[in-house]
Structure 1
């Protein structure tokens, strides 16, 4: 809720000013999770408002997305049953067509349109465009699933130079031209490293990393790579959070200064994490300290 106290509102603006100055001109990669998008009307509008604002004060946002729930919904309508191995979607030719339809036909244009409605010009694309993300197959059992091996960021840097916001779907292409389904978290991390991004922000549906898995009050505001790795090894990070945190650590070790895990269902969490002292999630800093 926006406060009606003018003094408090002024203090909030003054608190944001150092961050606006610090990150002016910085590339900020924002990974928007399909689970957040499931609450489409509110969360998508708030994402667009937040991204439009940080662009207007001189930051250079890049939005990356997957769309797991949207893919599942379309697959169900087509009577296709999803299968997963180690958290990755088994993608045969039929499922690849569903993935492409969901990401390029539904999720990507929804984000582009929402940004445009806030006066923030956006361009939808995927890792296939301009050979942005060259990938290789992960395993025969997974089918058309890839991991990014090379990023050619020129198409993104060209768009950023025009002040447009790239909105990138997590599809790659191999050296033969075959389209591959790529995990959106690792895809975002690879792009952030290639763009030498100052920040990579994962908008998900959890608050961040917890020191104790069953204690919501044990949210960790800041953690280094070594500490996060220990949380995985001790079982404090489980299930679907493991690939997300692994991608975050890869980005931090790859040169991204700060990686954030925040709850995208919290109103305007992106602004709260970027422009306030306390933030709302977990920040992972590079190195092992």
Structure 2
């Protein structure tokens, strides 16, 4: 089960949906929510500017002053959002002991966000991030770090949090190690779900329908209300078919593997996966 959930607290307005999604994932398990805020390292920026021969002393000082002001403002917003969210949700803060139920704290680090997310994420049971930040896609290195460098499942929140999790869990199934690992990572959600729907979209003539039934038989030991849908593309993109099926069953969560057959940036968060993240209005749980 998920007992330790890591959540970035960036100070952006879009954090609210990420916080709410993390809470939905944590509450059924009485988990600890660890919020992480990362300040920009001003020293690194100054070193980069100096090495690049950019600007004189006055220009560099102006950048330092601006970055420090931005750091302070974002950290204050992160703390305010954290405090307000926990108060409204009735979450205990301030160093609660393990086993005492739902609780939270916020830690602040300075440096590279992706690196700190990976470092803290290795000790969490689940990492929750947003797919956008104030209207723009979250930096690719942050998503990469959360998925590839933690060894832990990644829950990517939608722009608006679901009313409940897990509810109905849809599994985007293909016979691959990545999909199998995603199913294993999502097992706490699968076991607690009202129902589970395995969705298999035909890719080519070699698609093996029997593996979906094999997965169904295995998952019924965890959740008896597990069914399968085999779907033909009929000339439509696989993403469109999958998202249509997930919407049709009223899915609250989509589980899928993080696939890679070539460079990570071109495949895992490009192509099929990127279209899923941009087109799905529900959270997506991934593992690699």
Question: Which is higher, the Rg of structure 1 or of structure 2?
Answer: 2
In which range does the TM-score fall when normalised by the shorter chain?
Answer: 0.3 to 0.5
Q: TM-score, normalised by structure 2?
A: 0.42
